[in-house]
Amino acid sequence: MSSVLISRSPDLTRLQNEGFDLDVVGGYLVVRQVPYVTAERTVAHGDLVCELTLAGDRTTMPSSHVMYFTGHAPCHLNGSPITAIQHGEAMQQFGPGLSVQRSFSNKPADGYADYYHKVARYAEIISGPAVALDAAATARPFRPISNEQSGSPFVYSDTNSARGHFQAVSGKLAEHKVGIVGAGGTGSYVLDLVAKTPVAEIRLFDADLFLQHNAFRAPGAASIEELQRKPTKVAYLAEVYSRMHRGVKAYAERMGSENLSHLEGLNFVFLCLDSGPAKKDIVEFLVEKDISFIDCGIGVQSVDDRLIGIVRVTAATPKKHDHLEGRVSFAEPQDDAYSTNIQIAELNMLNAALAVIKWKKFTGFYADFEHEHHTTYSIDTGMLTHEQLQP
């Protein structure tokens, strides 16, 4: 009830997005952790409580200007009570686990337009002296918010999109099912980025173990205890990112002709694996099934004790895949500096970022004026080029 009501009420959503710690208990709005100054000139915290006036499943204009409080009498900096808002001092039980000690009255000439106006005003009056006494005091603690909305892929709410009013843009990614073949350096960074989007499902494929050298190419920092368990890459990454996204599914399998059916039903696939016959089978399957995909690649060589090379992203869609020959290699992997597990996580991260940006262009999240399907970044020259435009 609480998260649904808040999400459907613009005034409550604004309060939450600005960091207020909200809850709905029975028919009351509770604003928790509001700091105030006590008579002893110390900072304490109490909860603001007010009745909710609802129109169906969302709030309407507050019917009362009165606000209730669970703490002691809020004071000015000198410890004297803020008499301008005093209304009553009486213990009242509003429901199981919800009792108040006093009430306040501060009525604008035209009343309160909405609950944002009401809460923000009372919080400002009560917490102002506390902030002056202690700069760390705030009525906006930005408490992490669990996500109770049915069907949401996130364990906790995407308040960043909400604060910027970008839910409609982010919504273009919803219901998508994405595959990531290869959970090494680049694939793990692709997962890191995709897991922060509202896609419905993320299928992660890799048969290898997550070993010590892998930790230096993956996002975050694996503990020594996690490495000692020797999990598969997909098991380790699924455990980490399932803390945030409910749709991560791990397949500890090496993709090839015998298990390509795992890719059916996907809207998009990121290929983050070495070249070779297995990649050829996967690409042919995706083309046949009209599944769009991006092939990621990094080639690095050592010259005079310095590294040169290219980071590559090649995209294909049902309408544009005639450029793959000559752009994507299916030969056996060649020995280069990258294959020796040299730690170049920034190149993996760049490779993943370029791929995810292109994917988001396909979805309409980002504008796409060039419609490029092949992008390369040259390390030594710093040149970023793109070609193979959509006809």
What is the DSSP track for 142-165?
Answer: ----B---TT-SBSB--HHHHHTT
- Does the pLDDT value for residue 365 go beyond 80? yes
Amino acid identity of residue 266, one-letter, is: L
The tally of CA atoms less than 13 A away on the side-chain side of residue 253 is: 15
218 within 8 A of 212, measured Cβ to Cβ: no
What's the pLDDT band for 148 if we cut at 50, 70, 90?
low
- Higher-confidence residue of 335 and 342: namely 342
What mean pLDDT, rounded, does the chain reach? Answer: 90
Q: Can you tell me the distance from the alpha carbon of 369 to that of 390, in angstroms, rounded to the nearest whole number?
A: 10
Q: Which residues pair with 292 in a beta bridge?
A: 268
What was the pLDDT predicted at 279?
Answer: 92
102 within 8 A of 88, measured Cβ to Cβ: yes
Q: Can you tell me the distance from the alpha carbon of 292 to that of 361, in angstroms, rounded to the nearest whole number?
A: 12
Environment class of 369 (CB within 10 Å of its CB; exposed 0-12, middle 13-18, buried 19+):
exposed
Q: Maximum distance among all alpha carbons in the chain?
A: 81
pLDDT tens digits, one per residue of 71-88? 999 999 999 999 999 999
- Does the pLDDT value for residue 332 go beyond 80? no
46 within 8 A of 71, measured Cβ to Cβ: yes
Ranges of each domain in the chain: 2-133, 159-387
CATH of domain 159-387: 3.40.50.720
Strands ordered across the beta sheet of 292-303:
248-251, 201-205, 177-181, 268-271, 292-303, 306-316, 374-378, 384-387
User: In the numeric block, which tokens belong to residue 170?
Assistant: 């982010």
Q: Rounded mean pLDDT of 272-296? A: 93
Q: Can you tell me the distance from the alpha carbon of 112 to that of 131, in angstroms, rounded to the nearest whole number?
A: 24
What was the pLDDT predicted at 159?
Answer: 56
> Taking Cα atoms as reference points, which of 359, 264, 257, 367 lies closest to residue 316?
359
What's the pLDDT band for 278 if we cut at 50, 70, 90?
confident
311 within 8 A of 379, measured Cβ to Cβ: yes
pLDDT above 70: percentage of residues in the chain = 92
Give the range among 143-147, 190-194, 374-378 with minimum mean pLDDT: 143-147
Q: Can you tell me the distance from the alpha carbon of 76 to that of 39, in angstroms, rounded to the nearest whole number?
A: 8
99 within 8 A of 70, measured Cβ to Cβ: yes
What was the pLDDT predicted at 166?
Answer: 58
Amino acid identity of residue 226, one-letter, is: E
Q: How far is CA 168 from CA 200, 232, 353, in A?
A: 16, 36, 22
Q: Can you tell me the distance from the alpha carbon of 283 to that of 298, in angstroms, rounded to the nearest whole number?
A: 18
pLDDT tens digits, one per residue of 18-27? 999 999 888 8
Strand 28-37 with 86-95, pairing = unpaired
Q: Can you tell me the distance from the alpha carbon of 98 to that of 115, in angstroms, rounded to the nearest whole number?
A: 19
Length of the chain: 391
123 within 8 A of 48, measured Cβ to Cβ: yes
Q: Rounded mean pLDDT of 200-221? A: 95
E strands, 97-242, where?
98-105, 177-181, 201-205
pLDDT tens digits, one per residue of 152-181? 788 876 656 544 545 567 778 888 999 999
Number of H helices, E strands in the chain: 11, 16
What was the pLDDT predicted at 337?
Answer: 67
